[in-house]
Amino acid sequence: MSLTQVSSNKCAGGFQKVFEHDSTELKCKMKFAVFLPPKAETDKCPVLYWLSGLTCTEQNFITKAGSQLAAAEQGIILVAPDTSPRGCNIEGEDESWDFGTGAGFYVDATEEPWKTNYRMYSYVTDELPKVINANFPAEPGRMSICGHSMGGHGALVCALRNPGKYKAVSAFAPICNPVQCPWGQKAFSGYLGSDRSTWEAYDATVLAGSYAGPELDILIDQGRDDQFLSASQLLPDNLIAVCSEKKIAVVFRLQPGYDHSYFFIYSFINDHIKHHAKYLNA
């Protein structure tokens, strides 16, 4: 697979790079960011995938989260893809900030006109890891996943639907129960259709209720002053209740004073990278 390097910057002793490639799943050009720690110059390294939230590109995480120092220290490659296909010339793709461009919701769409391009679930879980493993010093079989908001939803879904694939999972302010919130209902009805039973395959709370895989250690940070928490978009209590019932290990930290922004992510990203390193470097 041919990759085009878009940018490369020395960072934290390693390199922060952005690449573009022709995606077979999404039928368009896609960008993704890769941080290569100093260790990657001589050894294979585990990979932590970061999934961003609504309206974001691959740039938000690499410029705002301050993740590179901790990743360099732990010897972890960070991969941050874009959040949706772009430039597909689909009618209506740019009309809403919470649907279409920048809002792929990490599902494989089944409805027209979205189903040809909007296959972010398969892109993140299958195509992108193959691209990373083929082109970078990634240690096979050692990867984990993390995300924010819509990306937190995506990270939880990817881990719960693929038992054993990811060594650990964590999330910042994830959309925990999208079938029950306005964001999820809008996105799922558009991408997946009116049959709500099909939505459950992309709902972390529902998936946790039937999870039967190996032990999964989940870390979730949530800002107490997050405007979307009070607007009932995130619904973490629903997920926590199911995890407690199913005895799925989850550490949920409600952080006083923090909102939904990257200032919040910046404040706790080191904890999350250490959480992943515990399993990736074991």
Q: Single out the catalytic residue among 108, 149, 203, 221.
A: 149
**21 is an active site residue:** no
CA distance 226 to 260: 5
**122 is an active site residue:** no
For 161, the token pair is 């639907």
**226 is an active site residue:** yes
CA distance 282 to 279: 5
For 116, the token pair is 């040809």
CA distance 167 to 280: 6
Q: Single out the catalytic residue among 67, 82, 84, 260.
A: 260
CA distance 122 to 26: 9
CA distance 67 to 108: 29
CA distance 97 to 101: 7
Q: Single out the catalytic residue among 226, 272, 275, 276.
A: 226
CB atoms within 10 A of CB 251: 12
H runs (alpha helix) in the chain: 59-64, 68-74, 120-122, 128-135, 150-161, 182-192, 204-209, 227-230, 236-246, 262-280
Task: Say which residues have a Cβ less than 8 Å from residue 72's Cβ, sequence separation at least 6.
Answer: 12, 13, 14, 35, 37, 38
The 8 Å CB, 24+ separation contacts for 60-64 are 60/262, 61/33, 61/148, 61/265, 62/16, 62/18, 62/33, 62/35, 64/262, 64/265, 64/266
Just list the catalytic residues.
149, 226, 260
